[in-house]
């Protein structure tokens, strides 16, 4: 039965996206483990701060532009929104650079590079949405592969020539390469932005700016602020172990869930926009989320039973907490796998207020975990945080399915 489901996916474009994601994430996982070993847990901790800043500012600069690209049906509006998004995000980036002059316990060069990379990654991501909207899924896969392969190559080179912050600089080069590839792939869709048309489209979807953007921003903080908080209370080496554990647990979500989500969002929006059977949207959402859950569950069992002993042999004593952190984070990330591929359903259903409430919960979970963990130890911090994720994502999934089921019966 499971194999038959996988065969049917071949016609849904998921396998096309999956191939690109698989190559990209395979390089990140295998290469990342090797690089972590040679760079050491302390430098990996600094790298994780850079990635957290980049991820947060990717959302700060976005202003919900990706939804304006995906939700429009008119091709001219899609191209106009995409072109305007780059200009809007660049303007916000210039304002964000002012944060460098505010005293933080974060190296200013890491903060600056994180903000700059956030814009670069955002543009590439918007290009992926645009290409997915136009059903050019092979190009989406190409963009996914470019940054990981180029990043890995330069990070390996920097190991041998001993460049300071080689992980950060190598990653930046990879993102820049993907940025130029995105420019090339989307070149024929650029237009001189029609400001009036752009504003009119924005006014049609006030919920994006009232709920979706604040919700996504708080979600970005909730998912990425933990490494920054850990760096304030614990050694960089412990931060490195935590960050590598999260990266290992995130890979199945990035590999499987993002492949499904890239196809799920436009398909679910199409079902909803065309006024098709409400039963169809419920069934499609349930199928995609549970398929993702079963695959992730199997992968997490393999990681915990086989992967952890292998990692303990591969790494030295400087990574002694890695196996425990992976086991603890498995619980929270398991229920997260139910939500990741279908998270955009809240935008489609115009329930962004629900996402906002949940993301506030997620942010507060970070704060609660860090306050408890700094007194009891980092293992308690990781366990408590994973517990909050398990409860929160589980509750959100059953709420979403309840709403869809209720709509089905109306």
Structure confidence by residue, pLDDT tens digits, 317-358:
668 888 899 999 999 999 998 888 887 777 777 777 787 888
234 and 250 inside one domain: yes
**Residue 7 above 70 pLDDT?**
no
**348 DSSP 8-state letter:** H
Q: How far apart are CA 245 and CA 327, in angstroms?
A: 9
Average pLDDT of the segment spanning 237-250: 86
**Residue 253 above 90 pLDDT?**
no
Number of domains the chain is built from: 2
195 and 215 inside one domain: no
Structure tokens of 181?
Answer: 């590839």
Whole-prediction pTM: 0.75
102 and 153 inside one domain: yes
**Sign of dihedral through CA atoms 392, 394, 400, 403?**
negative
The pLDDT > 90 percentage for the chain reads 21
385 and 310 inside one domain: yes
Residue 78 belongs to a domain: yes
| 243 vs 8 pLDDT, higher one | 243
Structure tokens of 397?
Answer: 């999934």
- The whole domain housing 220 covers 206-410
221 and 179 inside one domain: no
**Residue 371 above 60 pLDDT?**
yes
| 318 vs 40 pLDDT, higher one | 40
Residue 5 belongs to a domain: no
Residue 347 belongs to a domain: yes
**Residue 1 above 60 pLDDT?**
no
Average pLDDT of the segment spanning 242-265: 79
Structure tokens of 377?
Answer: 């130890």
Q: CB neighbours of 173 closer than 8 A, spacing ≥ 6? A: 150, 151, 154
341 and 256 inside one domain: yes
pLDDT value at position 285? 81
In terms of average pLDDT, the best of 194-203, 206-215, 342-351, 368-377 is 368-377
Structure tokens of 117?
Answer: 């990379």
**Residue 186 above 80 pLDDT?**
yes
265 and 369 inside one domain: yes
């Amino acid at each position: 039965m499971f194999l038959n489901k996988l065969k049917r996916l071949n016609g849904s474009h998921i396998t096309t996206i999956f191939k690109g994601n698989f190559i990209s994430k395979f390089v990140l996982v295998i290469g990342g483990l090797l690089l972590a070993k040679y760079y050491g847990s302390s430098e990996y901790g600094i790298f994780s701060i850079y990635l957290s800043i980049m991820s947060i500012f990717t959302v700060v600069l976005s202003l919900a532009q990706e939804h304006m690209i995906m939700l429009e049906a008119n091709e001219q509006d899609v191209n106009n929104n995409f072109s305007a998004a780059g200009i809007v995000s660049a303007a916000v980036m210039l304002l964000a650079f002012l944060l460098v002059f505010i005293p933080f316990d974060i190296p200013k060069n890491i903060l600056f590079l994180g903000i700059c990379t956030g814009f670069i990654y955002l543009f590439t991501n918007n290009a992926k949405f645009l290409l997915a909207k136009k059903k050019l899924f092979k190009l989406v896969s190409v963009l996914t592969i470019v940054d990981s392969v180029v990043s890995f190559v330069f990070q390996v080179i920097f190991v041998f020539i001993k460049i300071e912050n080689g992980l950060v600089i190598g990653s930046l080069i990879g993102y820049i390469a993907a940025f130029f590839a995105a420019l090339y792939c989307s070149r024929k869709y650029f237009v001189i932005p029609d400001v009036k048309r752009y504003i009119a489209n924005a006014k049609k979807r006030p919920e994006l700016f009232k709920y979706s953007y604040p919700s996504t921003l708080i979600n970005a903080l909730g998912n990425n602020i933990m490494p920054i908080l850990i760096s304030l209370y614990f050694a960089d080496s412990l931060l490195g172990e935590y960050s590598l554990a999260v990266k290992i647990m995130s890979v199945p979500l990035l590999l499987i869930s993002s492949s499904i989500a890239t196809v799920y969002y436009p398909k679910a929006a199409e079902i909803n926009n065309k006024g098709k059977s409400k039963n169809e949207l419920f069934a499609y959402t349930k199928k995609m989320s549970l398929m993702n859950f079963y695959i992730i569950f199997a992968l997490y069992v393999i990681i915990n039973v086989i992967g952890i002993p292998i990692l303990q042999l591969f790494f030295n004593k400087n990574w002694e907490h890695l196996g425990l952190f992976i086991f603890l984070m498995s619980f929270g990330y398991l229920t997260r796998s139910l939500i990741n591929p279908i998270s955009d359903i809240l935008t489609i259903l115009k329930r962004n207020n629900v996402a906002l409430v949940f993301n506030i919960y997620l942010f507060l979970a970070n704060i609660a975990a860090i306050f408890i963990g700094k007194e009891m130890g980092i293992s308690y911090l990781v366990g408590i945080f994973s517990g909050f994720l398990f409860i929160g994502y589980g509750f959100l999934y059953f709420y979403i399915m309840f709403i869809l089921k209720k709509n089905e019966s109306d």
